[in-house]
Structure 1
Amino acid sequence: MKKLLLIISIFLYVQANDIELTGTVISDNEKVITSRNIGFIKEVYVVEGSSVKKGDLLYEIDSSSIDSKKQEALLNLKIQENTYNNIKTNYERYKRLYAKDLVAKYDVEKLELNLLNVQNMISIAKAQLKEVNAQYDYLKIKAPNDGLIIKKSIKAGEMATPSIPALILSDLSSLKIKAEVSESNLNSIKLGQEVSISIPSINFEGIGKISAIIPSVNAMTHSFTLKIAFDTKDKTIYPGMYTKLLIKSSN
């Protein structure tokens, strides 16, 4: 009888040291989408909940501000090219006159120097035009990877501003579970340790592994954040889903 009681006591002790937690599914590859150019939003092609593929067009910014810069760059290039043609004509004429000793060598060399200077100005003008044309690519904001749009903060007609979040893209191929664990339980967990996972809303059961143990930002809580990697088993699982976790005692 004493032996039976001892076995039961040991079993209950082990069970008592199992750690039960609740967690949330997160994406370990979540991107904030913003624009590099300021301008009015011409069209938004996604809504919250849209699934997108890498390279899909998310939204587009009106090109008016860049159009004016392009016209200025084209005008500047045209002016430099016209100046070059005029100087070249004079240069060729002066070379012929110099060959007949009708003009000084200094005048020819001066025109030659002016010609080289304008050539440099043309190169700069072409580079500026190329830079302006490259900005058109940044008006079409595309998905950097496959994923799900989980937040949308823009709409057509509003002003797009660099560094201001427009969309949040969550990568569904890089899901993990995030949970908080008390500091007092740290001795019972370790990296790579197996965790039983349950997602009640979709009747999902599985086994994951602790991939990260991170100190909490709030030192007052005396807790640590766990990240748990797991196989979705081709189930449709979304960030934000509630999960139940069980970390078996290693005692």
Structure 2
Amino acid sequence: MKTYQYILLAFVAFLTVSCGTTEQKEITQLPSVPVKVAQVNGAEAAHYIAASGKVEAGQNASLSTRVMGNVTKVHVKVGDKVSKGQTLISISNADLTAQKAQVDAAIIQAESGLKNAEKDFQRFKTLFEKGSASQKELDDMTTRYEVAKANVEAALQMKKGVEAQFAYSTIIAPFSGAVVNSYIKEGMMANPGMPLIALEDAQNYQVVASISESDISGITSDTKAKIFVKSIEREYEGNIIELSPSAQHTGGQYLVKIAIQNADKALRSGMFVNVKFESNSTEKGASQVMIPTSALVKNGQLTGVYVVTDEQIAILRWLRLGRTYNNKVEVISGIAENERFILSHEGKLYNGAKVTF
């Protein structure tokens, strides 16, 4: 019986060793994975600073009124192109019309009183010169005449005020552009200060970007910029037109406005962009490296890339990433300059795989 058990154990051990040898042999003999590799180059990143921003119209306005009244006519709709001085909205001005009639009547009355006061003044002046009127009588007539002139002037100023209110009952375009929003409809009540319609200058676009305090020292008003709009896959040239000297009221971020030089009809206000500034600092960005986003490997919250060793073995390296510009992403840590990484591969790629290129 014991002899039989020994034989059985020896047979099992033989099978275990044989299977392990076979499995190891199969792993060793797995074919190499064809890959395309690239080398990390930090030289490009060392000469620019990346930031994110948003496209805005160079000129925009949200128009309102200073009078209360019903909207009688909305002359335009969202998307319409308008010219400077064009009527956009008409507001009922019946109350103003009544006020104007009252003011006109007051002007007529004041002018009539002025004529009478002037005649009396001239008559008493002549009588005073002949000694037929006292100094007090002349002074009274002079005062009456001056009051009459003041009444006329007050009535004329009231008329100017009413006429100015008439201007607010008609909303006109302060510049040529496009209607981007309308907040009111015909028949609705317009109140003072209430936004009625929004305009934008569709001919001139700019980008407003936020720069961190660690990067702002590498940017001046002469710094050139390249603007990449991911939604339309286009890149534009830009010049800085405003550079904020303070970040006190912007959450520690410095606002930079960039005029887009070669803007076209594909641009839209509100589009998010990536901006690349040519850095004026040689020290800033010396440790930055950039790799294509297509080379990244994601696993849950982790993002990595396959690097290639000198023995041509693929090793998955987890990365800490920074900002993205165009189709490249900044690597803060996890890969060093001059290391090789895998751009693409044919077949299944895994950690420890043998690769060829």
Residue aligning to 1:105: 133
- The DSSP-based 3-state class of the residue aligned with 1:184 is coil
Which of 135-144 and 201-210 deviates more? 201-210
Distance 1:126 1:24, change over 3 A: closer
Distance apart, 1:86 and its partner CA: 6.3
Distance 1:157 1:14, change over 3 A: same
1:202 deviates by 4.0
Kindly provide the amino acid, as one letter, of the partner of residue 55 in structure 1.
G
1:4 alignment partner in structure 2? none
CA distance in 2, matches of 1:20, 1:189: 11
2:171 aligned with 1:141: yes
C-alpha contact 2:204 2:263 (8 A) present in aligned 1: no
Go from structure 1 to structure 2 and tell me whether the alpha carbon gap of 1:151 and 1:87 turns closer, same or farther (over 3 Å shift). Answer: same
What pairs with 1:12-51 in structure 2 (closer than 5 Å)?
Answer: 12-17=41-46, 18-51=48-81
% identity of equivalent residues? 24
TM-score, structure 1 normalization:
0.74
1:177 aligns with 2:192: no
* Alpha-carbon offset, residue 91 of structure 1: 8.2
1:155 aligns with 2:162: no
Is it true that 1:192 corresponds to 2:188 in the alignment? no
Measure the CA separation in 1 of the matches of 2:223 and 2:173.
Answer: 35
Once the two structures are TM-superposed, the CA of residue 152 in structure 1 deviates from its matched residue by: 2.2
**1:218 deviation in Å?**
4.3
User: Aligned equivalents of 2:109 and 2:214: distance in 1?
Assistant: 75
- C-alpha change, 1:122 and 1:204, in structure 2 (3 Å) is same
Structure 1, residues 196-238: CA drift from partner, whole Å, max 9, x if none?
Answer: 222344453322133333327343xx43333222213544522
Q: Go from structure 1 to structure 2 and tell me whether the alpha carbon gap of 1:23 and 1:92 turns closer, same or farther (over 3 Å shift).
A: closer
Counterpart CA distance in 2 for 1:209 and 1:130 is: 45
- Residue 142 of structure 1, CA deviation: 0.9
Q: Which runs of 5+ in 2 are unaligned?
A: 1-37, 283-357
Aligned: 1:217 with 2:245: no
What is residue 159 of structure 2 aligned with on the other side?
Answer: 129
Please state whether the residue corresponding to 1:192 is helix, strand or coil.
coil
**Separation of aligned partners in 1, 2:124 and 2:60:** 67
Check whether the contact 1:216–1:225 (CA below 8 A) recurs between aligned residues: no
Contact 1:195 1:247 in 2 (8 A): yes
Would the alpha carbon gap of residues 124 and 23 (structure 1) be closer, same or farther in structure 2, given more than 3 Å must change?
A: closer
1:43-122 correspondence runs (5 A) = 43-83=73-113, 105=133, 109=138, 114-115=144-145, 117-122=147-152
* Structure 1 residue 54, shift from structure 2 partner: 0.8
Aligned partners of 2:167 and 2:98: how far apart in 1? 16
Matched residues in 1 for 2:231 and 2:210: separation? 21
Structure 1 unmatched runs, 5+: 1-7
Give the 3 Å change call, closer, same or farther, for CA 143–14 of structure 1 in structure 2: same
**Deviation of the 1:67 alpha carbon:** 1.4
Residues 92 and 27 of structure 1, relative CA distance in 2, 3 Å threshold: closer
Distance 1:81 1:249 in 2: 72
The answer to which structure, 1 or 2, has the higher relative contact order (CA under 8 A, 6+ apart) is 1
Displacement of 1:190 after TM fit?
Answer: 3.1
Name the structure 2 match of 1:3: none
Separation in 2, partners of 1:26, 1:58: 22
Distance 1:55 1:236, change over 3 A: farther
- After superposition, the C-alpha distances for 1:87-112 in whole angstroms (9 at most, x for unaligned) are 6788899999x7xx9xx635974567
* Residues 212 and 108 of structure 1: CA distance in aligned 2, closer, same or farther (over 3 Å): closer
Q: Which amino acid aligns with 2:83?
A: K
> How many residues matched?
238
Contact map agreement 1:55 1:142 (CA 8 A) in 2? yes
